[in-house]
Every structure is written in structure tokens, then in C-alpha cells.
Amino acid sequence: MTSELSLAHLVLNASIPVQVIMMILLLASIYSWGLILYKRRTLSRARRAAQAFEERFRSEQRMSDLYNRALRSSERLGAMASIFEAGYKEFLFQRRQPVFDREMLKDNAARVMRLAMNRELEKLEANISSLATIGSVSPYVGLFGTVWGIMSSFTALGNVQQATLAMVAPGIAEALFATAMGLFAAIPAVISYNRSTAEIERLANRYDNFIEEFISILLRFNQPKGGEQPVVP
């Protein structure tokens, strides 16, 4: 009996619709695990890059040196570096204008830096909705396989005069196995989706705080002093 109800037996002897459902759930599980590992690596890299750039930003004597080094660097410095570059480019543009307006610098720098931040967040959020879809749909797909398998088992009983547990046990087991596969695909996807969205939200707050800090530094270095040219921090 043990060999008859092994996992291989349940899959190979299941009805065609249940086998198709199991295959779909297996592929969904493989895809979700690949996406889970990819997102974990991507978010970890983004977190380390933000930490490294913040340390470099606060230790640098002049932001112009950091900006020039970032432009010359062949390495990818991360999302925060892209946000910094967008803001500093806007500052250089405003500095070349005949009249330097601090309020315009504040508004424009905040706008371009938040646009850059949104582009970086879109990259981090790419394909994350797939985890939510797998997490929400997989249990229902598995349940459909369960219902189909149970229906097939009880339909087969109509052709016999005396039903026994041994006759219905394999069909019910394969049906319940479909539900188990659905949960196996859904639970990791839901956990990873919640953790990834929380991590992306923390990164977004970190980027937003950096924008506020950077703009305050630009404005502090460029207090109006009788028509003097704005200072390059």
C-alpha cells in the first residue's frame, strides 16, 4: 500500500486534468523560487549600495568631487548615486542661470531627484507582482485539481456494486496532493512578496530622506549674499 500511494504513483496515475494542474503548479513554484532568490539578491545589493554611497557622501569634502568621480566611474554605484547625480545636475543647471533662485532650485532639484528615485524603485519592483499573483492564485488552482480528482473518484464508484476505501483512496490522495502543491507554491511567494515590499518601502524612505538631506545642504551652501554667485558645495 505504501508503494502504491507514493508521490510518484500519485502523479503518474493521476487523471490528465490533474496532471496538467500539477505541472502548472510545479512550473509556478520553480518560477517563484527563481524570482524569490533574484529579488533577495537584488534588494540586498541595493541596500549595500545605499549604505556605501551614504558613507561616501558624508565623508567627501566636496560634493563636486563625488559627482565627478561618479561620472568617471565605470562601476554601478546604485540607485542613491543616480538620485544624487540627477539633483547635482539640476544644481549645476540652475547655477548657470543669470538669476539664481533658491526656491526654484529647491523645487526643481526635488522633482528631478524624485523622478530618478521612482525610476529606480520601478526597477526594484519589477516582476514583484508575479509573486502576489502566484501566492493568491496557486491555492485555487490546487483546489480545482482537488475538486476534479474527488469528482473523478466518486464518478468511478458509480460503475461498481460495492465501494471500498482502497478503491477511492488513490483518487482522493492525488486530489489532496494537488492542494498541497498549490500551498507549496503559494506560501513562499506570499512570504517573499511581503518581505520584498517591506524592504522596498524601507529603501524608498531611505532615498527620500537622502533627497531632503541633499537639498538642505545645497540651500545651506547657497544663502543669498548680495547677488553673489551660488557656491559649489
Read off the pLDDT of residues 85-132 as tens digits, 9 standing for 90 and up. 889 888 888 878 777 677 888 888 899 999 999 999 999 998 899 999
* C-alpha to C-alpha distance for 126 and 134, rounded to whole angstroms: 15
CA distances to 4, 57, 132 from 169, rounded to whole Å, are 10, 66, 34
* C-alpha to C-alpha distance for 60 and 70, rounded to whole angstroms: 12
The single residue listed with the C-alpha cell 569634502 is: 61
* C-alpha to C-alpha distance for 89 and 136, rounded to whole angstroms: 43
pLDDT category of residue 198 using cuts at 50, 70 and 90:
very high
pLDDT category of residue 2 using cuts at 50, 70 and 90:
very low
Q: Is 232 exposed, middle or buried (0-12, 13-18, 19+ CB in 10 A)?
A: middle
Instruction: Decide: 174 and 10 in contact? Cβ < 8 Å.
Output: yes
pLDDT at 28: 93
3-state secondary structure of 152: helix
Summarize the confidence of residues 71-97 as an average pLDDT: 78
Q: Is 27 exposed, middle or buried (0-12, 13-18, 19+ CB in 10 A)?
A: exposed
What ranges do the domains of the chain cover?
7-221
CA nearest to 134, candidates 177, 192, 197, 176: 192
In the predicted structure, residue 3 carries a pLDDT above the cut 50: no
